[in-house]
Amino acid sequence: MKPLTLFLLLVFIVVIFSSGCLSDTPQKKLAAPPVTTTNPPIPITLPPSASIPGTPVQSPTLTPAVTVTSEEVLVSETENDAPNLRILKYHEERPEVGKLTITGIAKNDGKTIVPHVEVQIKFYDANKNVIISSKDTTDNFDPGETWGFTIAYPGPDSRKVKSYQVIITQV
């Protein structure tokens, strides 16, 4: 046998023995006891407008988002009352003094058509009091579909609007 082959064979044998593969002592395995946990159910009561009679309703979720925009610091928040509907993005436009428009894109992430969808925006003053709200709606929102919405501030002067909340719901 050639010396190089013999050397490689020796190295292989040393590696096998040092790794414990040919050892007679079995490795101890620690068995963890099974763990069972139970979470108590949390009842959720939805308003009658949040469902269609005879249609199963999933529990609502809340997805907050904070955005700083414009030369005025505006903090906005997004709330989702329908788990398969979400706001992909939105932004504000102030084309002239006293005017405010929120445009955005909503998506149906579910596997079924949503008969009626509403995006509502609540406008707040500096003291976090609701000034007014406005909405945009669409019908027959197909699974995987996106929808572009536009909601203008309906009041006479939007300069008192310091924040707003975007809410998407299935009605």
Higher pLDDT, 124 or 79: 124
141 Cβ contact partners less than 8 Å away, ≥ 6 residues apart? 85, 106, 108, 113, 114, 115, 116, 117, 147
Which structural domains are found in the chain, ordered by start? Answer: 80-170 (2.60.40.3230)
pTM of the model: 0.53
Report DSSP letters for 10-24, one per residue: HHHHHHHHHHTTT-S
| Phi and psi at residue 129, to the nearest 5° | -90, 140
Question: Among 12-16, 68-72, 164-168, which is the least confidently predicted range?
Answer: 68-72
* pLDDT (tens digit per residue) in 113-146: 999 999 999 999 999 999 999 999 999 999 999 9
Higher pLDDT, 127 or 35: 127
pLDDT confidence bin for 81, thresholds 50/70/90: low
